[in-house]
Amino acid sequence: MPEQPPISPDPSTTSAIDTPDSPDSLRSLLLDRLRHSGLGPEALALLRELLPEEQARKSGVRTEPIQLRSITAAGWRGIGPRTTLELPPGPGLVVVAGPNGSGKSSFAEAAETAMTGHNSRWEGRRAGDWQKGWRNLHSPEVMPEVGVELAVGERGETVTLRRTWRSNKLDEARTEAEASDGSERKPAEIVDPEALDLARPFLPYSELGSMINGTLGGLHDAFFKLLGLELLAEFDGRVKAAANECDKAIKHADSLTAPLLDELAALDDPRAREAAQALTAARPELGRVRALLESRTPAAEAELNQLRQRASLAGPDLREVGGAVSRLRAAATAAEEARYSSAEEARRLARLLESALEHQRRSGNADCPVCGTENRLDRAWAEQARAEVERLQREAVVAEAARKDGTVAVRAVHDLVQPVPVWLRGETSPLASLWQEWAQCRDITHPRELADRIERAAALLDDACRQVREEAAQRLSEHDGAWRPTAVRLAEWLGAAEAAETARDRRKHARKARTWLRPIIDELRDERLRPFAQRSQEVWQKLCEHSSVMLGSVTLSGTPGRGKVELGVSVDDMDAPAYSVMSQGELHSLALSLFLPRATHAASPFGFLVIDDPVQSMDPEKVEGLARVLDACARDRQVLVFTHDTRLQQAIAHLGIKATVLRVTRQTDSVVGVETLTDPVDQALSEARAVSLDPGLPQDVAEHVLPAMCRVAVEAACLQTARRRLRDERGLSLRTVEERIASLDRTKSYVSLALLGDEQQSAREAVERIYSGGWALVNTFNAGAHAPLPGVDDRKDLVRRTTALANAILRSAGARQAGGTR
């Protein structure tokens, strides 16, 4: 069968997010569309005003590439003692096989939990049903642990991510990252949480079955971020919000009108009647209302302004003044208690003593140079003088600190003093006089005098301000009587009406702008999504080559948090809802078709995929398509597939796909083992060869066991050849091939099917043609051991001839892969 072409690369993913100023950035594309939109200048100005700036986003920066080296688990799910699943490095397909209950899915969940901190298997499940069994029941003494060894960066630095528990509570866990040299790393620096969210490389079976139910909102949001479409959603949201704000302004003005008209009707005042006429006109007369509110004489307006100033008059804050005065008096007391009036005086005395000490040291004479007293300046005097110098220096520091504290305290008090208000200057009122006395306190520098003066002035001024405020408030309340409160509400209505008038005009342009914008957003969004949709269709075609269900368009609708993925599905060219016409296998194929383009996005740092049990519910043709899809992905990624279904391995063998097969087995007490499986023919021959070389093997055992083992090797070669021949040469479907193989019951039937394509015909001549003596060898297998095998040489010869026959069968149909002979 010719080699299948790989799934085409995504041409849009050289960079997930555009550079903000690049010609193909979303903002540049939108501006270009605006220039050719044909919209009026007002709508254009509105759209340009609301268009967000495009910032480079973290999600568009590819972090260091990451691959899996191994997965380790202990005390976790179906794994008891610590077990490690070693993985081959680099891109390639790895199949982890094992029966249900072997523990293979525990490895898949361990990798997901170690890297993401949660297990998709438990999402949406009741904790009592699923989370009670997260610890291995057979190894309660083993502290649960899951971990992955990663190869990070181009140089493949080894980093281990490990998640451990110290209790029975699933959420009480800690994730640690450790480099190969033992140094600790931050997990988020190794595995970017945002990258995990956007290009998640894990597809567990539970998600495989559930991700296609509903609206696929999570996938919608992930695509939005991967493609850098948040700007479109933000732009649309801003335009919609602008229109909504206009609606709110209009509704607010309308809500004020009816209550205000009722209030105006209740007043016997010509101004109220005129205001009601202005409000009930065909179009409210805002200018008339504005003039009505401003119709006062200049003198009256000046009086009102003066009353408002006095009603809001604020004098000194007595609490602040009291605190500042207390600090000032404390500083003054400290300065007075200093032994010296200034630091300079203490330092001068200290210098005099230092000079006397210097004189005594240089001259060596103990006589006093001032009074002439002999031996006055002796050692005792010197020690006493030095102590006095130190004391004087300390006193100087104390005096200096006291002076500074006093200066700071004086300045703090001065800062509280407010100048006389402009409107109060020139008055001869008691308030003006008291405020002048308060302002003059800034000229006083003596701490005691300042503290006394300002404390008294503040108290008097505060009391005077309070009286003035109360008098002004009383006069304001009496001004205009009943009209004044209504005038206040009329002014409120006028402001709302003016805003509504502006909003009506802006809303008209906003609606035109949004009508133009929505199809443009859809066009740009679909354009960005198109490569993903194409890749999804390619995957679907490979998985469902013979299905009557076709996957067409894959589009996004809505915005993040409220969006969905819409799928164009048809059956025999008739449109149909996806979930109602697809089989379970097709639904799983659909889920894979949507998962793979996202997980293999070029911006993803993850060089691996972990897919758990994708084969279930798939018919043989879909399994073969799955093998091709996985092979295509494995050309530049590490693809790790967990399955209990042997059909995937068979399809891989049919198609000649290179893959590493790891078998997981589970023994008593959750002891899990991992072994690498070789080619079935190689494995059978290797086992037969090992038996033939055992000199201690009893004769009767050798005569019965060894021929049977050789028969298994030849039958395996026949199966591999038959599958290749029937598929490539005769074009039979995989289902038909497997049905014919299932009917085989004898070795000669296997040989006939492999060499002739018909299990009913005799293949004696065909066998002899490809290997002389081969038919007799087949008879030896069937007869058990008619010829005795007395020694090791005879056994080795039997294995040698079996190897030659198996190789000849494989070569007969070109089934043998490159790489030498067995």
* Alpha-carbon torsion (678, 681, 686, 688), positive or negative: positive
Looking at residue 822, what is its pLDDT? 36
Query: What are the backbone angles phi and psi of residue 322, rounded to the nearest 5°?
Result: -60, -45
Identify the CA nearest to 385 among candidates 430, 417, 354, 418. Answer: 354
- Average the pLDDT over each of 265-279, 364-378, 413-427, 703-717 and give the range with the smallest value: 364-378
Looking at residue 302, what is its pLDDT? 62
The secondary structure element, H or E, covering residue 177 is strand 173-179
Instruction: Express each pLDDT in 529-552 by its tens digit.
Output: 788 888 888 887 887 776 666 776
Query: What are the backbone angles phi and psi of residue 225, rounded to the nearest 5°?
Result: -75, -40
The secondary structure element, H or E, covering residue 305 is helix 298-311
Name the CA dihedral angle for 178, 182, 183, 189, rounded to a multiple of 10 degrees: -20
Q: For residue 421, name the pLDDT band (cuts at 50, 70, 90).
A: confident
Q: Give the contacts of 806 (CB within 8 A, at least 6 positions apart).
A: 681, 685, 713, 714, 716, 717, 822
As a whole number of angstroms, the distance between CA 604 and CA 402 comes to: 67
As a whole number of angstroms, the distance between CA 703 and CA 653 comes to: 32
Strand pairing category for 184-185 and 173-179: antiparallel
In terms of pLDDT, which residue wins out, 292 or 514? 514
Instruction: Express each pLDDT in 581-593 by its tens digit.
Output: 677 777 777 778 8
Arithmetic mean of pLDDT, 708-720: 89
As a whole number of angstroms, the distance between CA 239 and CA 510 comes to: 7
Arithmetic mean of pLDDT, 639-659: 85
Q: Give the contacts of 40 (CB within 8 A, at least 6 positions apart).
A: 509, 512
pTM of the model: 0.59
Using alpha carbons only, what angle is made at residue 511 by residues 506 and 513, rounded to the nearest 5 degrees?
90
Instruction: Express each pLDDT in 651-703 by its tens digit.
Output: 887 777 888 899 898 888 888 888 887 778 888 888 888 888 888 778 777 77
Arithmetic mean of pLDDT, 641-655: 84
Task: Decide if pLDDT at 784 tops 90.
Answer: no
Looking at residue 3, what is its pLDDT? 42
Task: Decide if pLDDT at 817 tops 50.
Answer: no
CA 157 to chain centre: 23
Looking at residue 556, what is its pLDDT? 67
Q: Which residues of 541-564 are buried (b: 16+ CB within 10 A; e: fewer)?
A: bbbbeebebbbeebbbebbbeebe
CA 266 to chain centre: 62
Looking at residue 14, what is its pLDDT? 36
Task: Decide if pLDDT at 512 tops 50.
Answer: yes
> CA distances (Å), 352 to each of 359, 371, 380, 388, 400, in order?
11, 15, 18, 11, 19
Task: Decide if pLDDT at 396 tops 60.
Answer: yes
Arithmetic mean of pLDDT, 73-96: 91
Within 13 Å of residue 760, how many CA atoms lie on the same side as its CB?
Answer: 1
In the chain, domain spans: 247-311+480-508, 318-477, 679-812
Q: For residue 338, name the pLDDT band (cuts at 50, 70, 90).
A: low
Structure tokens at 306: 């003066």
In terms of pLDDT, which residue wins out, 47 or 60? 47
Arithmetic mean of pLDDT, 206-219: 60
Q: 10 Å Cβ neighbour count for 436? A: 16
The length of the chain, given as a count of residues: 822
Looking at residue 197, what is its pLDDT? 79
Identify the CA nearest to 421 among candidates 384, 464, 385, 453. Answer: 464
